[in-house]
Structure 1
Amino acid sequence: MSNVNAQEVTFGAKAGLNMASFSGDETGGVKAKTSFHVGAVAEIAISDVFSVQPELLFSAQGAKEDGGDGEFKSNYINLPIMAKYYVAEGLSVEAGPQVGLLISAEDEDGDDFKDEMSGIDFGLNLGVGYKMESGLNFAARYNLGLSNIWDYDGIGDFSQQNAVFQISVGYFFN
């Protein structure tokens, strides 16, 4: 299947496109915001077909107002830990948890909303990837937010989560 050896560790970098939005309560007027992610990755081969891939990413997220000029920008440092199963040479299916640390949040006017948001975000990632022998790799992933991103008095039962689709290209240094 894959030509990796057990316990082999490779390091790399990745960058790509985010299509970020919110899911949950009162999201009918919300649409995806185009942004980006960039960071470092490591792949730890457990066997010829299974590996673990921790990542450290800067991810620009948020959402746009449907039919308007409103935009909400939230930036995170995300740490996904992906389990990768190689179903064919170079082709993997991936799943794993993610924890995110909120570093900034503002609207289109530059008004700061960081104090009204939860500083920690939990999510579940699902995706596919393809790694070439040269180290060049490609991935598509969906981050399903599991925790409420809002954290302020008077919020009541209101709950929204991050919802981010990512397409990335990366390179593993051999």
Structure 2
Amino acid sequence: MNKRFYSFRKLTGLSFLFMLFLLGTYSTTQAQEKGNFFGGDRATRFGFKGGANVSQLYIDQVDGNSERSKWGWHAGIFVKAPVSDYFAFQPELLYSNAGTKVSYQGSNLLGVRPGEVRYNLNYVQLPLLAAITLGPLSVQFGPYGSYLIDANIRNLQIDDPLEPTGGIGLDESDFERFDYGLAGGVAMDIKGFQLGVRYNYGLREISDKGLAGRLVNNSKNSVAQIYLGIAF
């Protein structure tokens, strides 16, 4: 297996195993309970949600460099509007952190010193999800659009008093402002709480210009999420 995929797939797999464990524990006892969140009623609910991100860019790198996933977070609001007992619409508005970490051997051509470079990309994201609901369980899927509001690119191994942040001269203007892709996952609603896992697959290259384009050649966002929401 390609090493740069291993840690990301391992963490994503653990998230889904955790979710399946919870589903097995609760689904049989909660499916018929009338007091459940969306357990048979058609009320539209508004809520807040937040959780952890595990992100990677899958950069096409030159030999000698290595990439690994980066932890981040997301938070925002959502609405769940049931259309029937088995279908609902769930739009969301989130602040979400993506990116990756790459260990470079150094390149005069790319203008990068040896060290570990962290790509920290912060988006406002709008997922528009459909949800197939079966009791407390829902399977969610749909498109998302994102707008890049901030980018922080650092060489984490630089300790230079003249360059204390380790910045390598890139910011949000060096990346595509708009991103879009597909999102899918599973969630469980229990008494006003929603617990879920989701995967966001980007369909647009995040940069194809200048230094950023050379560093993140052909890269797209890839983010796994685990979250908790509360609705009213």
TM-score by length of 2: 0.67
Corresponding pairs, count: 168
Measure the CA separation in 1 of the matches of 2:193 and 2:48.
10
2:74 matched to 1:74?
Answer: no
Match of residue 131 from structure 1? 189
Match of residue 163, structure 1, among 216, 222, 225: 222
Match of residue 121 from structure 1? 179
Deviation string 1:103-153 (CA, Å, 9 cap, x unpaired) is: 011212344321111000001001000001x21110100001111111425
Higher helix proportion? 2
Measure the CA separation in 1 of the matches of 2:184 and 2:61.
25
Q: How do 1:81-120 and structure 2 match up within 5 A? A: 81-86=128-133, 88-108=134-154, 109-110=166-167, 111-120=169-178
Deviation string 1:62-113 (CA, Å, 9 cap, x unpaired) is: 1012585321100000000111001x31101110100000001121234432
Measure the CA separation in 2 of the matches of 1:139 and 1:80.
15
Match of residue 201 from structure 2? 144
* Unpaired stretches in structure 1, ≥5 consecutive residues: none
Measure the CA separation in 1 of the matches of 2:71 and 2:151.
16
* Unpaired stretches in structure 2, ≥5 consecutive residues: 1-30, 32-38, 105-114, 155-165
* 1:4 CA drift (Å): 2.5
- Greater C-alpha Rg: 2
Deviation string 1:46-72 (CA, Å, 9 cap, x unpaired) is: 111100100000001110125853211
Match of residue 21 from structure 2? none
Measure the CA separation in 1 of the matches of 2:103 and 2:131.
35
2:62 matched to 1:29?
Answer: no
Higher strand proportion? 1
Q: How do 1:38-49 and structure 2 match up within 5 A? A: 38-49=75-86
In structure 2, the CA distance between the partners of 1:84 and 1:170, relative to structure 1 (3 Å rule), is same
Query: C-alpha root-mean-square deviation of aligned residues, in Å?
Result: 2.1
Measure the CA separation in 1 of the matches of 2:125 and 2:99.
14
Measure the CA separation in 1 of the matches of 2:48 and 2:41.
18
